[in-house]
């Protein structure tokens, strides 16, 4: 099964992707992680990525599609979760063509719906484990009382510099301008499944399971 997790920054896509990885043996394809892995790999594509990033340029859609192509040609396990890609209609078209070329299908697009005000409150309370990436929230999932990550035992907690109300509003504006048109795009294709992204983590997990069948 190949799916896209769609939703604004802070909707909980990364958290639910990790749950799906564990429950369904799926592979998360996060644009940021793929770029970092490629840069460190020393491969031909990795050298291109490293050069672009060293110049401070934006990574092109062609490069990201090239990285996804490499992943699709490897071990598929239980399928792929596209997290953070596509972000634009052009990227959605490119991904669709690539999947068709590789004989793959897109089985569902899960839209995690959230309320902006609640989202701002959630994000400004967010922190992550600097070692494994486990996400915590002062309101819904506080850091363990012993100061150690419940997933890996590290005590290296971090807050993103842009996890503040003003930065988040800018990121939301970018999302609504560039990414939200994908909701209509995938609805028209019959791929869209919408869930309430503001419930408790387990509630959202159940809703996504029901959406995927």
What are the residue numbers of the active site?
A: 13, 87, 126, 159, 171
Q: For the stretch 68-100, what's the b/e string if a residue is b when 16 or more beta carbons lie within 10 angstroms of its beta carbon?
A: beeebeeeeeebbbbbbbbbbeebbebbeeebe
Q: Could you check whether the bond before residue 100 is cis, i.e. omega within 30 degrees of 0?
A: no
CA distance 36 to 30: 10
Q: Are 112 and 12 in contact (CB under 8 A)?
A: yes
Query: CB neighbours of 77 closer than 8 A, spacing ≥ 6?
Result: 25, 26, 27
The token duo for 24 is: 């369904």
């Amino acid at each position: 099964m190949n799916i896209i997790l769609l939703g604004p920054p802070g909707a909980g896509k990364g958290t639910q992707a990790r749950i799906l990885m564990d429950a369904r043996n799926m592979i998360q394809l996060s644009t940021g992680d793929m770029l970092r892995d490629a840069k460190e790999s020393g491969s031909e594509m990795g050298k291109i990525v490293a050069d672009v990033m060293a110049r401070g340029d934006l990574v092109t859609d062609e490069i990201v599609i090239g990285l996804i192509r490499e992943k699709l040609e490897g071990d598929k396990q239980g399928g792929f979760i596209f997290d953070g890609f596509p972000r634009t209609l052009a990227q959605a078209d490119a991904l669709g063509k690539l999947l068709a070329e590789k004989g793959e299908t897109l089985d569902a697009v899960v839209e995690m719906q959230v309320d902006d005000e609640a989202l701002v409150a959630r994000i400004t309370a967010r922190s992550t484990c600097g070692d494994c990436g486990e996400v915590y929230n002062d309101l819904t999932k506080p850091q363990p009382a012993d100061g150690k990550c419940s997933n890996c035992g590290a005590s290296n907690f971090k807050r993103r510099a842009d996890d503040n109300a003003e930065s988040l509003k800018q990121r939301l504006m970018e999302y609504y301008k560039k990414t939200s048109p994908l909701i209509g795009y995938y609805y028209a294709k019959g791929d869209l499944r919408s869930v309430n992204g503001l419930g408790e983590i387990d509630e959202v997990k159940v809703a996504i399971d029901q959406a995927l069948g």
